[in-house]
Amino acid sequence: MKRNNKYWSNIAGFITGEMSRQQQELFLRDLEANGQLKKDFELMQRTWNEFDSNPAEKYTRTAEAWQSLKSRLDRDGMLEEEKPVIRMRNLRYAVRIAAVLILILAVGVPTIYFSLKELNDSGSMIEHTSESGTLTVDLPDGSRVFLNKGANLKYNNTYEEEREVVLEGEGYFDVMSSPEQPFRVNAGKVVISVMGTSFNVKGSGERNVEVYVESGKVKVSIVKSEETMVLEPGQLVMAGDHLVAADQTDANYLSWKTKEFKFVDEPVDDILQVLKNAYHVEVRTGNIDLKDLRLTTVYEDQTFDAILNTICTAHNINFKKEGKVYILYSN
């Protein structure tokens, strides 16, 4: 374990009570396994206890510590482009910053600027929204998320310790395996927990949520109850007031993400609906009656224009394009 800014920030965060329960559990596990971490923690804990037992010296010692730190950073050239700013928003925050300054100075670490920046930003959220089409999001641990149009993904900048995200809308998750750190998706009514797997989540908020597993195992839990269900590859669950297992027989269920389509004697009207959902376009059929037109075909990684051209050619139909609107008309 490297004794870097994150290392010292974790010690200070534990001592000053700024960690979540899960972060505390991970820290205690590391503390038990790492002798150097334990030694540094005990030194900083003693310094903190001594510091906190004399409230009258808090601000004086903070100022002295900061001046000493600033001189060191100036000497090392670490303040040339950006200077850390300490805003004493309230007593607890002031004490926390003072503790980090004094404790880390006590053990001789010159990288406090980065630790302060990390602590100051610890509550911020990182957010991704798919405004149009499909958006690919690579998470810090190597997991990848594909967001369908209109979907929103949020996670805290402490993600690497928690591996927890919030999803609104539809998203496909390809999760890196990490047995020590389960991956959690909060999606409205349900929480999805996994180790390493790939699965699709559709729906959020107060709406019903669908979870479909492509590989690995997924545990789905209703937020307001203790009801849970473990899904294996190929299984789908509908989550409303209760969890209901359902068969997934739609060959194009993930076509919005894969852009692979399989149609067997399907009505053209239904085919166009699948394609519209996958490519986020509008198709106007005018006075053309599509209900009796059917098609059997497979498409892989083709543009919507190319696919529509083959459909129209097969049924002697023409189309014109106006922006993202496609208008069909008879020959």
Domain annotation for the chain: domains and CATH numbers: 5-120 (no CATH), 125-246 (2.60.120.1440), 255-330 (3.55.50.30)
In the chain (331 residues long), the average pLDDT of successive 10-residue segments reads: 65 73 81 79 66 48 48 46 38 47 46 39 75 89 92 89 91 89 90 90 80 93 88 92 89 94 94 93 86 91 92 91 87 72
**Token pair for 124:** 């911020």
Q: What is the DSSP letter of 177?
A: P
Report the half-sphere exposure of 283 (CA within 13 A, side-chain side): 27
pLDDT for the residue 88: 37
DSSP secondary structure letters along 215-272: ES-EEEEETTSS-EEEE-TT-EEEESSSEEEE----TTTTHHHH-EEEEEEEEHHHHH
pLDDT for the residue 137: 93
CA dihedral 196, 197, 198, 203 (to 10 degrees): -80
**Token pair for 300:** 């892989």
pLDDT for the residue 100: 52
84-101 pLDDT, tens digit per residue, is 343 333 444 444 545 554
| 190, 207 contact by CB (below 8 A) | no
pTM as predicted: 0.61
CA dihedral 278, 281, 287, 293 (to 10 degrees): -20
Q: How far apart are the C-alpha atoms of 285 and 317, rounded to whole Å?
A: 10
Q: What is the DSSP letter of 56?
A: G
Q: How far apart are the C-alpha atoms of 1 and 3, rounded to whole Å?
A: 7
